Every structure is written in C-alpha cells, then in structure tokens.
Amino acid sequence: MGFGHHLQSGGDAHQALLHLMDQELKLLETIQRCIHIRIKSDREYAMALSGITTFANKHKILDIETPTLNAWNTVIEETETVSRYIKQNAEELSSVTLERITALIRDKKQTQQIYKTGRERIDQDFKQVVDQEVNKQKSKYKEAGRETSQAKRKFEESVSKGKTGRDLDSAKDRYVKKTRKLHATHNDYLLATKSAILHQNGYRETLLPRLLDSHQQNQEEIADQLKDLLSDYQKKTNLSRKEFQSSHRKVEETLAALQSKEEYNSFIQQHKHEPPPYVNIDFDKSVWEEYKDPMLEKQEVVLNNLTFETVQHSSTMFETSLRDCKAQLDEKLKQLNDKETEIAELQKLGTEGKPECGVKTREQRELSQAINELKCTEMKLTAQEEMLQSKISELGDKEPPAGIDIADVSVPPPAAGEKTGGIKKIKSIFYTGWKMGGGGGGGRQSVSSEDPDPNDLQEETNDDGYHDVNMFPAKSLTDEEWYHGAIPRTETSQLLKEEGDFLVRESSQKPGEYVLSVKWGGIPKHFIIQSNAEGQFRFEGQAFPTINQLITHQWQSRQPVTKKSGTILANPVQKDKWELSHDDVIIGEKLGRGNFGDVMRGVLKDDKTPVAVKTCRETLPKQVKDKFLMEARILKQYDHPNIVRLIGVCSQRHPVYIVMELVPNGDFLTFLRNQGGTLTTNQLVQMSLDAASGMAYLEAKNCIHRDLAARNCLVGNNNAVKISDFGMSREEEDGVYNVSGGMKQIPIKWTAPEAMNYGRYTTESDVWSYGVLLWEVFSLGSTPYPGMTNQAAREKIEHGYRMSAPENCPQEVYEVMLSCWKYQCSERPLFSDIETILQRLSKLKF
C-alpha cells in the first residue's frame, strides 16, 4: 500500500496529501514549541530544587551529628543531584533535540516544496502533450482536409470542363500539393497521438507513481527521524520516578511500535470511508454546576433587563448578516441561471462547443457549491434571528422583566455582640449600589470578597463572616509608595517577588474596597482591609483611623496579619515609575471612543503638555479591565519615533487612565480619506515606511500586534505615522501566540489565514495585515475587498484570490503587498526587509 498506487488522483487524493503535509508541519511546530516549554520548565524546576538546597545549607540548625541530620543531609545532597540531572537534560534538549526538530521542520518544508514543484511540472507537461499538442495537430489535420477537398473539387471541375494547358496544370499542382500536406499532417497527428498515448502511459505508470513513491519515502524518512527525536526526548525527560514509570512505559511501547512503512496506511485507508456520523450536540446541563438560575432551566433565550440590549444588538446583527446573505444568494442564483443558459446554447453546437461547454459546466458546479454554502448559512442565520426576534416580539411594548430579584440576596447576620448598625449600613450600600447600576450590572451588587483564586485562603473573610466596604478612603493613601492603586490582581503576583514583599491596592472588581497583597509561603495572599461601623480599619486585631496607620503598624510591629496565615510584612514594593496621579492630568473634550471607554484630550498640570487619555469604564468585567492595562504594560518597554509614546498610568483610583502622547492629526484611516487626495505618491511611500519601521522595531522585541490596520495608526507632525492601539498585542519569547475561541472581534479582512483558521499569531501574520494596510494607504482609505462580505473575502483568499493594485499604485509597492500575502507564512518577508525595500523606493521619484 503506497502513495504511487493509491493517491494518483489529482483531485481529492492530491488535496488530501497537501492537507496532510500542512498538518504534519504544524505538528512538528507544535512539538518544537512543547520542547521549548519543557526546557524552560525544567530549567526553572532545577533552579527551584537548587534553591531548596541553598536554603537548607544556610539554615543548619543542629551542630551535632544525628541520624536524622545525616538523613536530611542525604536528602539535600540527592535533591542537588536531581537538580543537576534535570538541568543537564534541559541543556541537552536545548543544544541537541531543539536543533534537530528545527532541522526537521526545515527538511519537511523542503520535501513539501519538492513534491509540489515536481507535481506541478509533470502535470503541466502532461496537459501540454495530451491536451494542447494533440488538439493542435487535430486542428491542422481538419484544416488540411478541407483545403485538399477544395483543391480536388477544383481539379475535377477543370477536367470536366475540358480545360487544358496551364489552367489544368495549375489545378493539378494545387491538388497534389494539398494532398501532400494532408498526408504529412496525417503523419504528424498520428505521431502526436502516439506520443500523447505513450506520455500518458509514462505519466500514469512511471512519472507520477515514482514522484509519489519518492515523496512517500521522504515522508517516511522524516517519520523515522521524528521517531528517533521523540525517543531521544523521552529519554532526556524520563525522571525514573515510580509515578512516571507507567506513563513512560506506555510512551516507550508506543514509540517502539512505530514503523515508518506503516506510517500512512491508516491515512490512505481513511479516504475510502463513509462520512463520519453526526456529532451529538445537546445542551449540556453541567454548565449549571456552579450556579443554577431558574430562568435558564427552560433552555430558551433569556430576555430581561440584564440582556435586553445585547439581545436586540445580536438580533440586528443577525438580521443584517441574513440580508447580506440573501443578496449574495440571489446574485449567485442569477449567475447560475445565466450559466445554465450558456451551457444549453453550447450543447446545441455539438462537438465544436464541447471544450467551452466543459469549462462552463465546471463554473456551474462551483456556483452550485457556493449556493449550497450560502443556503446553509442562510438557514443558520434565519434560525438564530428567529430565536431572538420571537422573544423580542413576545415582549412587545412591555418593559423587560428583572434579571435578578434583590429580595433573594440575603445578608449574613451579625456576630454575637456586634452592633446592628453595621448590617444596616451594608444593606444600605447594597441597595444604593444596585440602584446606581440600574439593576443590571453597572453598580456594585454585593460586598463579598474578590473572585476566588487557588492561592486565596480564608484570610479574606473577617470575624463577622462578611466584608465591610470603605466608602471614604483617606486622600493621603495615594501618597504612600506601597499603594499601587487599581492594578490588576495578576500584575500584583508579578510584583511580589520575595518572601514578605507587600503592597496595597484597590480592588479592580469592587472599586472602593482595598486589599493587602503579600507574598508568603511562596505564593501571593490577599487580605481585604475591613472597616467597622466607626470607619476604622483592621484585619483581626487593633483598629486604626487610617489604612496608612494600619499598614505601618503591621509592618513595624512584625505581627502576623492573621493568626491562621502567620503572614508578616517585610518589604514594601514601591509603585511603578510610570504611575501618575489623577490630579496630574486635566481632562478636556472627548476625542473618540475605544474598546474600553472614551478617549479624551488632556494636558499635564505641571508643564501643560497636551496628551491623549484613554479611560476604562468602571462597569466592565475585571478580566476586561486587566486587558485594558496590558496595553500600558507593553508600551512601557518601547521607545521609537513610529510607536505611540506612553506618558503614564493613573491607577490610584477608578476610572483608570492610560496617558499617551497626543498625536495631532488623528487616526491614519480618517487622515487618508480626508487628505489622501492631496498627498503625492512619494509621501504615501514615506508614510508606509514609517509604519514598517515601527513594526520592524516591534518585530525585534518579539511583540505581535494582532490588529495592525490604518485605523490603529496615528498621524503626527510632518505626517509621521505611529503604530498605536496595542489592546490585542502580545509579547512571546518564541514569537508565536496561539488563541482559541470564536470569531468575536477578529478583524477578518486584515487577519492572516493561519490566524483565522488555527488561531496562530506571529510576526508573519502581522506582515499579512501590513500588506492590507499598504493597500489601504494607496487606495486612500478604501475598505479592503470592496463589495465583499467578511465571509466571501475569507473564502476567496483560501482559493488564491488577492486584491488587485489600487489605482496609481506603483508596481514596486504592489509587489510588496503580494509578498505580504503569501499563503505560507514562512514565505513572507520580515518587517526589516520591508523597511529596506521601502527605504529604497522612498528615494525614487514617482
């Protein structure tokens, strides 16, 4: 069973083989990434074990020898031995195994290219000989036959009319000449036919089978190498511990059973099977394990005051998409009807119309397939739109019902001896917070602790079983170096590095509630600062008038924060140098709206520097607020004239601000649409070069932007372009960021195929987006893939379509676009290469 015999089909089998090669390449890249992660993890684990031995050797308590001490010393010595062994294995993985998998990926790409190039060449030769040459000779044969027939008829007429002399000789010579040509053409056609038959035999019996078999052998050799590599990886990662033996034995048995000659048997057999059965997709009631709401038990669309706006918005989106889908469907049906008419007319021509009829028939099938896909999409959109619209219609003009009953929310009773005023206060705060939020998620709806975390213990709950909220924090708190404002909880863990490190922050989930975060026992612990009815602050013991005094007392007295935790404050973590006070910024008029909140104009109070201030809505979920601050964390590390500059962050209280340089000419897209007509081609090249320079800088920093487009760039003085909007950006050591999930908020027309299909973002996927940005620049702000929906553009890209050059776009620039849109990401240029090309073009006169 082999490729040469079973996979000769130029259709499904060939496409399946190409798909297999792509999947195998992705597998190798996944293995490479996993090995890299394993190396990093083993190095960290070895360092941690070495840290244990260092700590133990520094804290030798007994100064006499005892069996216990000797045993402990042996444990420590063996721990150090294990540490060295793991580190050694990690270094071998890094120096040998990782290089081997990198070489294997290179060989895999080369093998893939050899097959594709060879297949295209012999397929083209086959078509040239079988189709073009035979048909060419056949046409000549027919033409020679017609000419000979005419010459013969004229010669016979001359004889019958009794012509003699020169006229008869002329007709006779023409008849002989045309007959000679006919016979020669007959021989040529016969030879061409024979050649085509032999070429086809050679193609089917030798060329194609040998190419496929050769490719299979190359694939099998790589499979052998991968087997050796995985065996080597298994050996280097086998720690020989009992709990690992069973797993390693299974791996060894599996690897030992691998035979390269049988590597593709199941794959070849797979394409003879029936389609897989339908997946059973039912509503999984396990989603109610954490929280069961009676409103959800009907398994219907929930429409209440909490969901009304989102349901209306979704219904409108589905309605718009359905309208677009139906318009496309009507257009495709019209095209199909026209195509069927053309085919009917060609069929009437018989043999003469057969070649063109075949072409039209293939186009008809493609249209039918597109119509079927659109009908499927129409069916899904109709069902989804009806689910939402039926609920909206059912509600009519009535107010949507409440999504949550406040009466169901109970407040814990006070502890013995506690005044009831505290409970009344909490109920008052609860009710006020609910009313301020409109009953729907805007206000504070409870006074419980932050979302639970695996590292959180009982320290966050006070003796009364509930948490008070400090509504009026002292202003001087913001002056403390250990007060960090409303930073995300995840960032807190990164700041606490040593045992006893501590800081105070405002809860990002519950503004107005303050948390002490301390690293203790190797993990961050979070203690909510409680306030009593008199407005004093405490943990377990003595209460103090201000949070400052409470923290100073805990720090200086070295008393545990709680008896149960034993946590002691040792080292205050000072706030970030980028931290600004809200009072440092004077807010002006609104400039626009971002994903997280409004963008405002402002000035710094001290030196009147104009700035842009991004704000974050307080009603957003905690996870979304964390993403808002991620842009600031990324920009803190960058300094480049073509990257928008961060000035500071105001996180001392809500709402949180990100303060950036004010770029006077606004976003690049609006600039192109309003002023693009006044710009010269050289100016457009220079602005494109600015964007490329900024991206080359990010490329060197292993930063993946993920949302590069004209709308996310800004235009400054002298038309300088700056890369902005890093809300989706990620920094990855290996330059690869993988995501999973749906298509929500993905800019489809700017997104590379591998990111769209597999959630795999790299600098190369940013290069694809830059190609689209380049098209935006030279089309003066037009929308990419004009006239196409997102889905239509995506489908056409997968089938090889690329946008044509905008009007007046230099060919050299269009070639840069096309290079950015290579389907294989490894074939796209680096941003540093694009920068070099555009630097050269910027010196030309267009």
Looking at the domain assignment, is residue 654 inside a domain?
yes
Same domain, 202 and 222: yes
Same domain, 129 and 209: yes
Check whether 599 is labelled as a binding-site residue: yes
Question: Which pLDDT tens digit goes with each residue over 275-307?
Answer: 456 556 677 777 766 676 777 777 788 888 778
Secondary structure in 3-state letters for 708-759: CCHHHEEECHHHCEEECCCCCCEECCCCEEECCCCCCCCCHHHCCHHHHHHC
pLDDT band at 732 (very low <50, low <70, confident <90, very high): very low
Looking at the domain assignment, is residue 442 inside a domain?
no
Looking at the domain assignment, is residue 402 inside a domain?
no
pLDDT recorded at residue 411: 43
Q: What is the pTM of this model?
A: 0.40
Same domain, 619 and 543: no
Domain-terminating residue out of 525, 545, 572: 572
pLDDT recorded at residue 277: 65
Same domain, 516 and 623: no
pLDDT recorded at residue 208: 84
pLDDT recorded at residue 683: 95
Burial of 148 (0-12, 13-18, 19+ CB in 10 A): buried
Same domain, 683 and 633: no
Same domain, 503 and 521: yes
Range of the domain at 565: 447-572
pLDDT recorded at residue 339: 87
Query: What phi, psi does 647 have (nearest 5°)?
Result: -100, -40
Looking at the domain assignment, is residue 441 inside a domain?
no
| Structural domain count of the chain | 5
* N-term to C-term CA, the chain: 60
Q: Using the predicted structure, report yes or no on whether residue 425 has a pLDDT greater than 50.
A: no
Same domain, 644 and 698: no
Same domain, 44 and 111: yes
Cβ distance 102 to 39 under 8 Å? no
Of the two residues 569 and 447, the one the predictor is more confident about is 569
pLDDT recorded at residue 785: 94
Check whether 12 is labelled as a binding-site residue: no
Domain-terminating residue out of 542, 572, 602: 572
Mean pLDDT confidence for 459-479 = 44
Which CATH number fits the domain that encloses residue 504?
A: 3.30.505.10
Question: Which pLDDT tens digit goes with each residue over 774-806?
Answer: 999 999 999 999 999 989 999 999 999 999 999
Catalytic (active site) residue 284: no
Domain-terminating residue out of 222, 237, 252: 237
Residue-averaged pLDDT of the chain = 79
pLDDT recorded at residue 461: 36
| Cα 537 from Cα 774, distance rounded (Å) | 58
List the catalytic residue out of 468, 667, 707, 725.
707
Looking at the domain assignment, is residue 148 inside a domain?
yes
pLDDT recorded at residue 669: 94
Question: Which pLDDT tens digit goes with each residue over 302-357?
Answer: 888 778 767 876 777 778 788 888 989 999 999 999 988 988 888 888 777 777 87
pLDDT recorded at residue 244: 38
| Cα 472 from Cα 545, distance rounded (Å) | 12
Mean pLDDT confidence for 473-494 = 74
Which CATH number fits the domain that encloses residue 312?
A: 1.10.287.160
Same domain, 564 and 698: no
- Check residue 625 and report its DSSP letter: H
Looking at the domain assignment, is residue 243 inside a domain?
no
pLDDT recorded at residue 276: 56
Q: Using the predicted structure, report yes or no on whether residue 711 has a pLDDT greater than 80.
A: yes
Looking at the domain assignment, is residue 160 inside a domain?
yes
Mean pLDDT confidence for 46-74 = 73
Which CATH number fits the domain that encloses residue 213?
A: 1.20.1270.60
Check whether 598 is labelled as a binding-site residue: yes
Residue 127 token pair: 């078509």
Check whether 597 is labelled as a binding-site residue: yes
Cβ distance 212 to 127 under 8 Å? no
Question: Which pLDDT tens digit goes with each residue over 239-280?
Answer: 765 543 544 454 456 556 656 666 666 666 666 555 456 556
pLDDT recorded at residue 561: 92
Check whether 614 is labelled as a binding-site residue: yes
pLDDT recorded at residue 262: 65
Amino acid at 116: K
Looking at the domain assignment, is residue 268 inside a domain?
no
Of the two residues 717 and 6, the one the predictor is more confident about is 717
Check whether 591 is labelled as a binding-site residue: yes
Same domain, 675 and 757: yes
Radius of gyration of the chain, Cα coordinates, nearest whole angstrom = 37
- The CA-CA-CA angle for residues 644, 645, 649, to 5°, reads 120
Check whether 594 is labelled as a binding-site residue: yes
| Cα 317 from Cα 404, distance rounded (Å) | 26
Which CATH number fits the domain that encloses residue 731?
A: 1.10.510.10
Half-sphere exposure of 48 (CA within 13 A, CB side): 7
Same domain, 539 and 646: no
pLDDT recorded at residue 281: 66
pLDDT recorded at residue 183: 92
Same domain, 557 and 597: no
Q: Using the predicted structure, report yes or no on whether residue 445 has a pLDDT greater than 70.
A: no
